Amino acid sequence: MPHNTLGKTGLKVSKLSFGASSLGNVFRSTNESESIEVVREALRQGINYIDVAPWYGHGLSEKVLGKALDGIPRTAYYIATKVGRYQPEVDKMFDFSAERTLRSVDESLQRMGLDFVDVIQVHDMEFAPSLDIIINETLPALQKVQQSGKARFIGITGYPLGNFRTVLERSTVKIDTVLTYCRACIHDNGLQEYIPFFQERGIGIINASPIAMGLLSNQGPPDWHPATKDIKDACVKSASFCRDNDCDISKLAMAYTLGFPGVHTTLFSTASLGNLRKNLACANTQLSHKEEDVLKEVIKRYIDPLPVHHWESVEVDEYKRQLQGVPDEQTFKLG
pLDDT digits (tens, 9 = 90+) for 8-21: 999 999 999 999 99
Residue 122 region by backbone torsions, left for phi larger than 0, else alpha for psi between -120 and 50, else beta: beta
pTM for the full predicted model: 0.95
Cβ-in-10-Å burial (0-12, 13-18, 19+) of 294 comes to: buried
Q: Helices 289-298 & 249-258, crossing angle to 10 degrees?
A: 90
Of 49, 56, 159, 319, the catalytic one is 56
Q: pLDDT of 306-326, one tens digit each?
A: 999 999 999 999 999 999 887
Higher pLDDT, 328 or 197: 197
Query: What pLDDT score does 22 carry?
Result: 87
- Residue 57's contacts (CB-CB under 8 Å, 6 or more residues apart) are 21, 23, 24, 25, 26, 64
With a cut of 70, say whether residue 27 has pLDDT above it: no
Query: What pLDDT score does 328 carry?
Result: 54
- The DSSP letter of residue 235 is H
- Residue 214: CB atoms within 10 Å: 17
Query: What pLDDT score does 331 carry?
Result: 55
Query: What pLDDT score does 60 carry?
Result: 92
- What value does the mean pLDDT take over residues 115-138? 98
- State percent of the chain over pLDDT 90: 87
With a cut of 70, say whether residue 25 has pLDDT above it: no
Q: pLDDT of 202-230, one tens digit each?
A: 999 999 999 999 999 999 998 889 999 99
Query: What pLDDT score does 209 carry?
Result: 94
Q: pLDDT of 39-96, one tens digit each?
A: 999 999 999 999 999 999 989 999 999 999 999 999 999 999 999 999 999 999 999 9
Separation of alpha carbons 269 and 50, rounded Å: 10
With a cut of 90, say whether residue 148 has pLDDT above it: yes
Query: Is 56 known to be catalytic?
Result: yes
Confidence of residue 282 (pLDDT cuts 50, 70, 90): confident
